[in-house]
Chains A and B, each alone.
Chain A
């Protein structure tokens, strides 16, 4: 077996040192009736690298990859071009095969990256500080709600109707068990986000309002107005950013009054990967630091006075506080944080702004072209790189038919909101710097054909 260095001679010599007659003697604590006498039945035996690669390649070949078709999906996961150097660097063994920096003297590479990452996220979000990452945007969102409850000592959270429904589902699932009260506003097919409804829902018991920015339909809520209203009643504002590239163009939530900003970092450096692993981003005001979940990296000095970095404030965390910890989270999303950080280092703030401008430009091109199709209209005038188009009928069938024509044309609102029939004509369409004019023309002509009922 190519991954196992012990030889039979080694094994025999080691058993001698141990004083055991056979390896089975080392499993003596396992009750004999539970011990398997040979390999688990019904499973194949070991295979060569070539054979395994062939098997896995065949499975990969059954998928229609985003790069092989005109591609317009978003809804919380975006296809951006990732520079080759990003993937090269994250495959360096010193990053790939290290672990949580428990021994900081020999983990300064990882620790300094985390410190740089925290700084980048904080500056991008307009928050004072950020942590070393969470599992993904949806779990970061729930952790933010818990944190707001700890800070305000209130336990009613209001979810805007523009929150990604999967995020809302994660929150409601968790809240069911913790018995926090969640007031979920309904998503409606309107050109304006539900700012007024969010503001109207805030009361004295409200711990926080959770507002996605831009929201699930691509609309942009007025965070400043919401923050003013929330703060007047002692509630916090949790802004959720599922497309961080947007913050190259629209104002950072922290600069508009958001107290906690969470997000999905997948857009930068990480790639689509059928939904994971992704990267939860988490920033907040400095005064809340001891209520934060997750790992934090801080600056210090070593015994010679050299600057160095360590994991810090771990008295919040499970390995010290056990059942009194701020969260049960243990691992972060280290390698994805590294990828995000490298991509953002390559871009810099100005590069990110320009990338964002290109994303918006591509989306404008999509809007210009698709709204020429009879029966297709644009829902929202204010958008970044994703818009909701309203079709004459249920968009789910349209998306499937487009896929049959090798066009990945967007995400139907029926898939995201199956129980809400009033949304089923909605089609979410996203464009990024990877979207070409040819892609847009293909989508337009195929969409027109599908709507006209022309067979593929």
Chain B
């Protein structure tokens, strides 16, 4: 049992013989490969990394019956211990700052540090959302300037800024459609969603109270226009189309789709997750779109932060603009910028469908996105789209001889290259290539999405990658494809060089352990012995 330590090691399972061949350190760390226990296993009751004043007064008498019986059962750490704990943990993460992060549909581009600096200016970071308007004119101006850019870049009439993320923006757009239909006195309850759509699309439609009907794709990976037309009718509220779509292709029939939907009395929602491919090149408003969310954390580089926070403003056509939720910022006839909320909505904004968040949306992301946009300007944003598309096509054409690209035989892709795992040796799949990429020092691409392609591998390099960086990535991808075609068994156990080997997700789901169960300062994990017994 010498292999068991406080960080939760236990004797190796499987792969007989490997443990004895491996050099074992007594600490469990290996040079710069550092293990790190849970903070609770490090901390002790009574330790604190903040010096806090001693209160002068006893609690008010009225509070006595509400007082806690004991302080929350949470150990503390001093500052050096805290900094070390999180720094050691951070080294177990891959990140854009370390190399390419080609997750298709996620647009993992460089996060400029000026954006971080600006967001931390006290005039933005240290302002309360309910301060009197006169004391936050600069904040309102940021919202207004960003709104103006988003409207102009998309050719739309208006923008709702408050949604907190892409899926929240989808919800905002669909609720605008519901409100517009209600105003027309119509009860349409079906939303058409292509089968290649991101999972949030059908989930959002259901969340907004619609029934979802699926539209098939053509063999070329596009929305089947005729199939869509056949489904249109008096109960169809609208369609949700992703353009460029999740196969990395532009929908050439977008205008025809929009015209058909409009003619049938419905609205067109466009998922703007892939706007990075067309920003500055095409305005969705020119294609008949009624609503589209913009993921500021994708196209406009606000940091992904390990899974959020995002931001999902929704641009709206003139038909939907009156229904945008409160609060919002407008420029009055006097040229002044005003915050419209419940208190002052008045007659002019009586059709707003309600409110989606407590305050004004993701202000900290607005400052970052505006900083990014001003840095690039209209010319730079256009270059972003061109370079993103160029990089994706370069990957596509550099690998398609080894990995089939089902939809790009006849023409270019947009900002992401889609491959399939067809043609690998028996028993080898996308997962093996993805885990092999980890050993090669890259973050894998999006895998098994979209669902319309067998063993999908969706590679979105973004404009952030240099040609030299792409050549390295392509070299690794080609090498892995060859190994998988040749049946190289070592791929099945990849990654070999990551902080962890493949993790047992079935175990995690069967007996969920979602919180640490020990007492502060206690090493070890009661749950581990249970797992060990299975």
Query: Does the CB pair A116–B40 fall under 8 Å?
Result: yes
Query: Does the CB pair A415–B130 fall under 8 Å?
Result: yes
Q: Spot the interface stretch: A129-137, A195-203, A444-452.
A: A129-137
Please report the number of residue pairs spanning A and B whose Cβ atoms sit closer than 8 angstroms: 749
Residues in chain A near residue B124, CB distance under 8 A: 60, 63, 273-274
Contact partner of A13 (CB less than 8 A), chosen from B60, B149, B250, B467, is: B467
Does B422 lie at the interface of the complex (its beta carbon under 8 Å from any beta carbon of A)? Answer: no
Flag B93-126 by CB within 8 Å of A: 1 or 0 each.
1111110010100101011101011111111111
Query: Does the CB pair A116–B39 fall under 8 Å?
Result: yes
Query: Does the CB pair B354–A106 fall under 8 Å?
Result: no
Distance A53 CA – B134 CA, assembled complex (angstroms): 23
Query: Does the CB pair A353–B71 fall under 8 Å?
Result: yes
Can you give 7 A-B contacts (C-beta < 8 A)? A47-B377, A59-B138, A63-B135, A105-B498, A251-B66, A345-B85, A361-B56
Query: Does the CB pair A167–B128 fall under 8 Å?
Result: no
Query: Does the CB pair B527–A1 fall under 8 Å?
Result: no
Residues in chain B near residue A120, CB distance under 8 A: 74
Residues in chain B near residue A165, CB distance under 8 A: 342
Query: Does the CB pair B514–A118 fall under 8 Å?
Result: yes
Does B61 lie at the interface of the complex (its beta carbon under 8 Å from any beta carbon of A)? Answer: yes
Query: Does the CB pair B137–A55 fall under 8 Å?
Result: no
Residues in chain A near residue B370, CB distance under 8 A: 56
Smallest distance from the beta carbon of B341 to chain A beta carbons, Å?
8
Interface of chain A residues 16 through 32 with chain B (CB within 8 A):
17-20, 23, 25-31
Does B234 lie at the interface of the complex (its beta carbon under 8 Å from any beta carbon of A)? Answer: no
Smallest distance from the beta carbon of B508 to chain A beta carbons, Å?
4
Does B188 lie at the interface of the complex (its beta carbon under 8 Å from any beta carbon of A)? Answer: no
Query: Does the CB pair B122–A65 fall under 8 Å?
Result: yes
Query: Does the CB pair A66–B204 fall under 8 Å?
Result: no
Does B466 lie at the interface of the complex (its beta carbon under 8 Å from any beta carbon of A)? Answer: yes
Residues in chain A near residue B365, CB distance under 8 A: 276-277
Does A204 lie at the interface of the complex (its beta carbon under 8 Å from any beta carbon of B)? Answer: no
Distance A346 CA – B50 CA, assembled complex (angstroms): 6
Smallest distance from the beta carbon of B495 to chain A beta carbons, Å?
5
Residues in chain B near residue A60, CB distance under 8 A: 118, 121-124, 138
Residues in chain B near residue A345, CB distance under 8 A: 39, 43, 49, 76-77, 82, 85
Distance A350 CA – B74 CA, assembled complex (angstroms): 8
Query: Does the CB pair A93–B199 fall under 8 Å?
Result: no
Distance A59 CA – B136 CA, assembled complex (angstroms): 10
Distance A383 CA – B63 CA, assembled complex (angstroms): 7
Smallest distance from the beta carbon of A349 to chain B beta carbons, Å?
4
User: Given A59-B138, A247-B72, A323-B203: A34 and B384 within 8 A (CB)?
Assistant: no
Contact partner of A331 (CB less than 8 A), chosen from B47, B209, B310, B367, is: B310
Query: Does the CB pair B38–A112 fall under 8 Å?
Result: yes
Does B482 lie at the interface of the complex (its beta carbon under 8 Å from any beta carbon of A)? Answer: no
Flag B346-361 by CB within 8 Å of A: 1 or 0 each.
0000000111111111
Does B434 lie at the interface of the complex (its beta carbon under 8 Å from any beta carbon of A)? Answer: yes
Does B21 lie at the interface of the complex (its beta carbon under 8 Å from any beta carbon of A)? Answer: no
Residues in chain A near residue B112, CB distance under 8 A: 3
Query: Does the CB pair A322–B203 fall under 8 Å?
Result: yes
Minimum-distance CB pairs A-B, first 4: A348-B76, A275-B359, A173-B354, A60-B123
Does B141 lie at the interface of the complex (its beta carbon under 8 Å from any beta carbon of A)? Answer: yes
Other than the given A3-B376, A169-B354, A308-B503, 9 more pairs (CB < 8 A) read A27-B389, A93-B96, A133-B308, A298-B508, A305-B9, A317-B199, A323-B203, A328-B200, A331-B167
Residues in chain A near residue B121, CB distance under 8 A: 56-57, 60
Does A233 lie at the interface of the complex (its beta carbon under 8 Å from any beta carbon of B)? Answer: no
Distance A15 CA – B464 CA, assembled complex (angstroms): 17
Does B12 lie at the interface of the complex (its beta carbon under 8 Å from any beta carbon of A)? Answer: yes
Chain A, Cβ-Cβ closest to B515: A119
Query: Does the CB pair B87–A92 fall under 8 Å?
Result: yes
User: Given A29-B250, A312-B508, A346-B77: A98 and B166 within 8 A (CB)?
Assistant: no
Interface centre among A2, A3, A352, A403 (most CB of B within 10 A): A3
Smallest distance from the beta carbon of A96 to chain B beta carbons, Å?
5
Query: Does the CB pair A296–B303 fall under 8 Å?
Result: no
Contact partner of B52 (CB less than 8 A), chosen from A97, A164, A320, A354, is: A354
Interface of chain B residues 421 through 457 with chain A (CB within 8 A):
434-435, 438, 443-444, 446, 449
Query: Does the CB pair A334–B363 fall under 8 Å?
Result: no
Does A206 lie at the interface of the complex (its beta carbon under 8 Å from any beta carbon of B)? Answer: no
Query: Does the CB pair A106–B438 fall under 8 Å?
Result: yes
Smallest distance from the beta carbon of A149 to chain B beta carbons, Å?
13
Does B184 lie at the interface of the complex (its beta carbon under 8 Å from any beta carbon of A)? Answer: no
Contact partner of B283 (CB less than 8 A), chosen from A36, A115, A274, A344, is: A36
Contact partner of B139 (CB less than 8 A), chosen from A63, A264, A315, is: A63
Contact partner of A327 (CB less than 8 A), chosen from B36, B203, B371, is: B203
Does B401 lie at the interface of the complex (its beta carbon under 8 Å from any beta carbon of A)? Answer: no
Distance A38 CA – B8 CA, assembled complex (angstroms): 58
Query: Does the CB pair A36–B280 fall under 8 Å?
Result: yes
Smallest distance from the beta carbon of A306 to chain B beta carbons, Å?
6
Interface of chain A residues 328 through 363 with chain B (CB within 8 A):
328-336, 338, 342, 344-355, 357-358, 360-361
Smallest distance from the beta carbon of A196 to chain B beta carbons, Å?
17
Does A408 lie at the interface of the complex (its beta carbon under 8 Å from any beta carbon of B)? Answer: yes
Does A313 lie at the interface of the complex (its beta carbon under 8 Å from any beta carbon of B)? Answer: yes
Does B335 lie at the interface of the complex (its beta carbon under 8 Å from any beta carbon of A)? Answer: no
Does A104 lie at the interface of the complex (its beta carbon under 8 Å from any beta carbon of B)? Answer: yes
Smallest distance from the beta carbon of B7 to chain A beta carbons, Å?
7
Contact partner of A6 (CB less than 8 A), chosen from B344, B374, B375, B466, is: B466
Does B483 lie at the interface of the complex (its beta carbon under 8 Å from any beta carbon of A)? Answer: no
Smallest distance from the beta carbon of B74 to chain A beta carbons, Å?
4
Query: Does the CB pair B77–A348 fall under 8 Å?
Result: yes
Query: Does the CB pair B168–A139 fall under 8 Å?
Result: yes
Does B525 lie at the interface of the complex (its beta carbon under 8 Å from any beta carbon of A)? Answer: yes
Residues in chain A near residue B170, CB distance under 8 A: 328
Does A153 lie at the interface of the complex (its beta carbon under 8 Å from any beta carbon of B)? Answer: no
Query: Does the CB pair A47–B375 fall under 8 Å?
Result: yes
Smallest distance from the beta carbon of A166 to chain B beta carbons, Å?
4
Does B255 lie at the interface of the complex (its beta carbon under 8 Å from any beta carbon of A)? Answer: yes
Query: Does the CB pair A408–B128 fall under 8 Å?
Result: yes
Does A455 lie at the interface of the complex (its beta carbon under 8 Å from any beta carbon of B)? Answer: no
Smallest distance from the beta carbon of B236 to chain A beta carbons, Å?
16
Query: Does the CB pair B129–A176 fall under 8 Å?
Result: no
Does A67 lie at the interface of the complex (its beta carbon under 8 Å from any beta carbon of B)? Answer: yes
Does A232 lie at the interface of the complex (its beta carbon under 8 Å from any beta carbon of B)? Answer: no
Smallest distance from the beta carbon of B243 to chain A beta carbons, Å?
10
User: Given A249-B68, A276-B357: A361 and B498 within 8 A (CB)?
Assistant: no
Does B416 lie at the interface of the complex (its beta carbon under 8 Å from any beta carbon of A)? Answer: no
Query: Does the CB pair B165–A135 fall under 8 Å?
Result: yes
Chain A, Cβ-Cβ closest to B166: A330
Query: Does the CB pair A349–B76 fall under 8 Å?
Result: yes
Does A370 lie at the interface of the complex (its beta carbon under 8 Å from any beta carbon of B)? Answer: no
Chain B, Cβ-Cβ closest to A107: B93
